Structure 1
Amino acid sequence: MLSRLQAYGDRLRSSLFFVPMLCVLAGIVVGEAMLYVDALVEGIDPRLTATVDSARTVLTTVAGATLTFAGIAFSVSLLLISLASSQFSPRVVHGMFRDPFNKRVMGLVIGTFTYCLVVLRAVRSSLEETGDAVVPSVSILLAVVLGIASILAIVAFINHAAHSMDVSKILHRVTEEALSQARAAWPDPEPESDPPVGTDEDTTLPVGAAAVRFDGYGWVQNVDYEQLLAALPSGTTARLETFAGQYAIQHTPLCHLFPPAPDPEAVATAVRAAVLVGETRTLQQDVAYGVRQLSDVALKAMSPGINDPTTAHDAISHLGTVLSDLLRRRPPARRLAGADGQVLLVPEATTHDQLVGLAFDEVRIASADQPTVLIYLLDVLHQVEQSLTDLVRPGAVASLRRQASMIREINEQADVLEPDRQRVRAAFARRYPD
């Protein structure tokens, strides 16, 4: 249940609707509260009072201006999302939706608009129904303050928006999110041992295991292992056939159970409830997604339409940062036990070797005819290996060296000038003299 709540919380953080909606409600509440305060306040400084006409003019002006500001904010946000998607990668867009500053600015201007509407309806002249003029001076003063704050917020928003398209800031944000998820999903390493990736552990089930199948399709966003174990009958062993970050196809196996459950439909429903499937891939439990995003930025930078090796270098450097942190951590256990003898096998867990391949395989192939990028790759691979020297990581080091060897081989086969080929050879020899 906690994992599902965290997933819903992640959706709310990615929503452009939630914070502005709260600010609209806040505008209504504050407006009503200020009208109540105005009814209690007497003897206001004449400099702060207003006539009915001036009050309506001020409120109408502030409301109209803030609504225009809101339109500008939404337009700029959509423009930035479009540019980031085309220039860097569609997968970095998800993180831009999570930018709290943008949502707060939108919330402020929309909340101010709502507040002005609430106060405006309370302004009445002596010629109207009640016969008494109502001019909530304190409420109008707050509307002016909120209007000025909205102007400053829009200026700050434009400044923030301009700087947010800096590729270094985008890569830094993706890296921070990936590192944060790595710390949450993978525990800290044991001091002097290679992380147990479970490659030799038997995860097979006897013949006759019953399959629980997906009843829908989409990206697996979260697996609540505790809830899944609790859904199994006592003494049941389940082998999970999916993982966070995999695309689920309808009617494909979600897991296999042995022995088969006495009430298969009820157990299947409970098991499916422990696996959250959604429309988009997210960083929830998916440590590989941050690596995928950075790798995509590097690939996009090397595409013929962009051809920006410097951006590729930046992305590869950030890849090294994320990969170094992940290789220092232990992947989650592949065998989990429940309180009543239930056992959950997780053979599809992400391994260190898979992460290294995901980070560098496609980038290496795409940069075959770009010696400068190949040298960047060798440099980052060497730095990541050096970051592991204080730990025993033979599996991770072997994967990194395998990548370096493939870079050397692809350089030998590439259609480049001999001086460029020699540059890559020399770079490899400096970093891997043995």
Structure 2
Amino acid sequence: MTRLIHHWDAFRTSFWFVPALMSVAAVLLAFALPEIDSRMGRDVAEESRWLATTVSAGQTTVSTIAGASVTVTGVVFSITMVTLSLTTNQFGPRLIRAFMADRTAQITLGAFVGTSLYCLLVLRLIRGLDGGAVVPHVSVLASVVLAAVDLAILVYFVHHTAEMVQPSHVVREVAADLDDAIDRLFPERLGTPAAEVDPAERRAERGLSGPARTVAVPRDGYVQGVDEPALMQTAKDADVTIELLHRPGDFVADGLPLARVRPPERGAAEEVDRRIREAFVIGRDRTPRQDLGCAISELTEIAVRALSPGVNDPFTAVQCIDGLSATFGRLAARDRPDPHRYDDDHNLRIVARPITFGEALGEAYDPIRQYCRGSLTVNETLLIGLGRIAATVDRPEDADELFRQAAMIVRGSDEGLREQRDRQRVRTRLAELREALSRFEPPEDVSFE
């Protein structure tokens, strides 16, 4: 199922899938409507002012629409490519996936391609009936209706494209992908978590030590997903414990360890290893389906590019930080995946490497913090964002990560901001954050000086 979902993600983020479906629908329509014409009869059609037409008029109408649709298809394609080029230069190449998944562009291309194909098929049919008694009145009228719909779609496409290149829209869309990733991944419900299993009932905790058989990586690439139910079923069938050495988002190289199986002698080794490899989806790029870091890094990349000297747009960086802080506020309130997963009989089956709150926070905040030392606005926004997250934090270890990030932000701003008044404003924001975290004590390794 996981592999099918990733195939579906690849289809929906392509420019060919939706146009292909709409082209198939256009072909079916081109075959169905002439049948309606033939069954309706010539007399019925000619009684209606909107349906009645002649062979020559029908040929002219359909051929004109077909030619215009082909021309506009090229224009839409050009607009799409220019938009991709501009947004890639401004926001980063990894956002191409998000723009290719835009449904409006896909439907617009599909509408004009489908209309062109429909008109070409109907045009051939009209020529074949030139000497006959039946003219496909409904088919010709349908081509006019399709052309009118295409014009409405084109107007909306231009409006949507103008919106799509605005930084606020880009940040909002990427933040929505990040929220979706959190909804999918937290809480994790693979098997039974350790917290729900009585320690006295835990059996065969061999997944933490002892000899193991190593399963090798089948090919180079990024881990895009893991079929967790399949892994659990494999572990139960072979009565083994599987330790995952990589999680979605990690780059793996051919031949290096992918997972460990304990005890090594149990089960049919080749069959078990094959099923474990098949449970991992490995591809060329990172995807946000199971990789929380992918969506985080996309939003972070926009902020880092906005802070570069060539762009110098701290306000876009502020929007990114606001989106990240809102997302991490929701993440702080969610249940976290337990690395040890048990089956229904309380046997340890999966030892995974779920992403921690600290790792996710560091992946988001560290690059921005390193590039914004000289920006008062961005440093203040980082601390304000940590304050938003602090409002939902209820775990001491999460609060420790907030303290650590705050300390690094303050030290960086002290080095980057020349004016004492600017540094004092940052300290004021730090005092507000510490007040929001007053129910927690800072860790011993954190210093705000």
Would you say same fold, with TM above 0.5?
Answer: yes
**Partner AA of 1:373 in structure 2:** V
Counterpart-to-counterpart distance in 2, 1:326 and 1:3: 23
| Residue aligning to 2:263 | 259
Counterpart-to-counterpart distance in 2, 1:120 and 1:299: 54
| Residue aligning to 2:60 | 57
| Residue aligning to 2:85 | 82
The 3-state SS of whatever aligns with 1:220 is strand
1:155 aligns with 2:159: no
The answer as to whether partners of 2:38 and 2:134 remain within 8 angstroms in 1 is no
The answer as to whether partners of 1:408 and 1:424 remain within 8 angstroms in 2 is yes
Counterpart-to-counterpart distance in 2, 1:148 and 1:203: 67
1:138 aligns with 2:138: yes
Counterpart-to-counterpart distance in 2, 1:258 and 1:341: 16
Counterpart-to-counterpart distance in 2, 1:147 and 1:39: 23
- Pick one of 278, 281, 284 that aligns with 1:279: 284
1:294-328, Cα deviation, whole Å (9 max, x unpaired): 11111010011111010010010001111111111
Q: Which range moves more in the overlay, 51-60 or 342-351?
A: 342-351
How many residues end up aligned between the 2 structures?
418
**Partner AA of 1:387 in structure 2:** T
**Partner AA of 1:185 in structure 2:** L
What are the equivalent positions in structure 2 for 1:162-241 lying under 5 Å apart? 162-187=162-187, 205-232=208-235, 233-241=237-245
1:149 Cα deviation (Å)?
1.1
**Partner AA of 1:238 in structure 2:** I
| Residue aligning to 1:23 | 22
Counterpart-to-counterpart distance in 1, 2:322 and 2:2: 32
Q: Which range moves more in the overlay, 136-145 or 408-417?
A: 408-417
1:342 Cα deviation (Å)?
6.2
1:244 aligns with 2:248: yes
1:231-280, Cα deviation, whole Å (9 max, x unpaired): 23533111100111111211111101111145322221111111111122
| Residue aligning to 2:355 | 350
1:33 aligns with 2:32: yes
Counterpart-to-counterpart distance in 1, 2:84 and 2:127: 44
The answer as to whether partners of 1:125 and 1:134 remain within 8 angstroms in 2 is no
1:147 Cα deviation (Å)?
0.8
| Residue aligning to 1:428 | 430
1:392-423, Cα deviation, whole Å (9 max, x unpaired): 22221221121111111122223623332233
Structure 1 gaps of 5+ residues are 190-194, 197-201
1:28-80, Cα deviation, whole Å (9 max, x unpaired): 10011001011112222363322222211111110111112221222212222
The 3-state SS of whatever aligns with 2:125 is coil
Counterpart-to-counterpart distance in 2, 1:9 and 1:23: 17
The answer as to whether partners of 1:91 and 1:293 remain within 8 angstroms in 2 is yes
Structure 2 gaps of 5+ residues are 196-204, 439-449
The answer as to whether partners of 2:417 and 2:423 remain within 8 angstroms in 1 is no
The 3-state SS of whatever aligns with 1:281 is coil
- Pick one of 294, 303, 323 that aligns with 2:328: 323
Counterpart-to-counterpart distance in 2, 1:279 and 1:88: 20
> For the structure 1 residues 430 and 332, does the alpha-carbon distance in structure 2 shift closer, same or farther, using more than 3 Å as the test?
closer
| Residue aligning to 1:336 | 341
**Partner AA of 2:255 in structure 1:** H
Aligned residues: percent identity?
31
Aligned residues: CA RMSD: 2.3
1:92 Cα deviation (Å)?
2.1
What are the equivalent positions in structure 2 for 1:98-137 lying under 5 Å apart? 98-124=101-127, 131-132=131-132, 134-137=134-137
Counterpart-to-counterpart distance in 2, 1:305 and 1:204: 51
The answer as to whether partners of 1:89 and 1:300 remain within 8 angstroms in 2 is yes
> For the structure 1 residues 204 and 229, does the alpha-carbon distance in structure 2 shift closer, same or farther, using more than 3 Å as the test?
closer
Counterpart-to-counterpart distance in 2, 1:125 and 1:18: 32
> For the structure 1 residues 381 and 340, does the alpha-carbon distance in structure 2 shift closer, same or farther, using more than 3 Å as the test?
closer
Counterpart-to-counterpart distance in 2, 1:326 and 1:98: 25
| Residue aligning to 1:70 | 73
1:143 Cα deviation (Å)?
0.4
**Partner AA of 1:426 in structure 2:** T
The answer as to whether partners of 1:124 and 1:134 remain within 8 angstroms in 2 is no
Moved over 3 A (4+): 202-207, 338-347
Counterpart-to-counterpart distance in 1, 2:179 and 2:72: 35
1:379 Cα deviation (Å)?
0.8
Q: Which range moves more in the overlay, 419-428 or 207-216?
A: 419-428
The 3-state SS of whatever aligns with 1:123 is helix
The answer as to whether partners of 2:88 and 2:95 remain within 8 angstroms in 1 is yes
| Residue aligning to 2:199 | none
> For the structure 1 residues 144 and 203, does the alpha-carbon distance in structure 2 shift closer, same or farther, using more than 3 Å as the test?
farther
The answer as to whether partners of 1:187 and 1:330 remain within 8 angstroms in 2 is yes
1:203 Cα deviation (Å)?
8.7
| Residue aligning to 1:418 | 420
- So what's the TM-score if we normalise by structure 2? 0.87
The 3-state SS of whatever aligns with 2:127 is coil
Q: Which range moves more in the overlay, 370-379 or 26-35?
A: 370-379
1:16 Cα deviation (Å)?
1.3
Counterpart-to-counterpart distance in 1, 2:346 and 2:373: 52
1:381 Cα deviation (Å)?
0.7
- So what's the TM-score if we normalise by structure 1? 0.90
| Residue aligning to 1:192 | none
What are the equivalent positions in structure 2 for 1:281-296 lying under 5 Å apart? 281-296=286-301
